Amino acid sequence: MGIEVPRIVWVGTGLLAFAAGVVNAVGYLGYEHQAFSHMTGTVTLQSIALEGRNWDAAQQLLAVVAGFVAGSFGAGTLLRDRSLSVAYVALLVVEAAFFAVAAALLAGGTGFGACFAAAGCGMQNAMTSFYSGSAIRSTHLTGFFTDFGLVLGQICRGNPAPRRRLGMWGLVLVGFSVGGVVAAIAFHRLGFLTLLFPSVTAALCALGLWLHLHRAKLRQ
């Protein structure tokens, strides 16, 4: 897929990557160095816990993975096609709610809040992946660095540089990195309430998309 998307998608992708960067940094800083925005490391930790017969840790890690999958499942049940619609607005609102609940639970000492943080990330990643045909993933960077290296190799072979695609990848990288920096600064003062930053960000994305769809409808 070529990155031929509306301007609002570019803005939204950058903001959602920022949100994911905050969530993931909070996981590393406050929840036993666990990632919330991607599950590779979580599954590895679960394997180690199983080998060591640390059943409590294994169960906890499984719950986080299940939360991520549940968020993706929720997106899959609502999204019917890739065109921007009210379904995306609804999912962004739910995502914002998930992050707010995660902030409240984790700040109150309830580890189950990690499942809501992971669910919000799973929902977000499913949305952006579904919309773009897997060309955009806004919650982690493994695919970005893989594709970036692949594209650089193709460019060295003489193929033209896909500037829009590179621009989108750069946007995700910057957004995610800035989110991590903001979380590192805020966590020392706010603790798990730092998750309110991505909650507000997702809510603003929902509002912006709703206004965009409303204006488009009025122009018809």
Residue 66 is predicted with a pLDDT of 92
Nearest to 181 by CA among 61, 21, 46, 50: 21
Does residue 116 sit within a domain? yes
Q: CB of 8 within 8 A of CB of 212?
A: yes
Reduced to 3 states (helix: H, G, I; strand: E, B; else coil), residue 44 is helix
pLDDT at 1: 43
User: Taking the model in full, what pTM does it have?
Assistant: 0.88
Q: What is the sign, positive or negative, of the torsion defined by CA atoms of 215, 74, 101, 64?
A: negative
Rg (CA), the chain: 18
Instruction: Indicate if the pLDDT at residue 205 is higher than 80.
Output: yes
**Rounded mean pLDDT of the chain?**
88
Quick check: is 43 in a domain? no
- Whether residue 171 lies inside any domain: the answer is yes
In a domain, 48, yes or no: no
Token digits for 98? 């998930």
Q: Across residues 14-23, what is the average pLDDT? A: 94
pLDDT at 134: 63
Q: Residue 100: is its pLDDT beyond 80?
A: yes
Residues 6+ apart with CB under 8 A from 16: 124, 128, 138, 139, 175, 201, 202, 205
Residue 158 lies in domain: 25-31+67-213
Residue 7 lies in a domain: no
Over the stretch 110-138, which tens digit does the pLDDT of each residue have? 988 999 999 999 999 999 888 877 667 77
Residue 199 scores a pLDDT above 80: yes
Side chain identity, residue 154: Q
Is there a domain that residue 143 lies in?
Answer: yes
Q: What is the model's pLDDT at position 18?
A: 96
Per-residue pLDDT, 4:
64
Number of domains the chain is built from = 1
Answer whether 199's CB lies under 8 Å from 103's CB. Answer: yes
Interior angle at CA 169, CA 88 and CA 45, nearest 5 = 80
Summarised one tens digit per residue, pLDDT across range 73-97 is: 999 999 988 888 999 999 999 999 9
Note whether 3 and 185 are within 8 A (CB): no
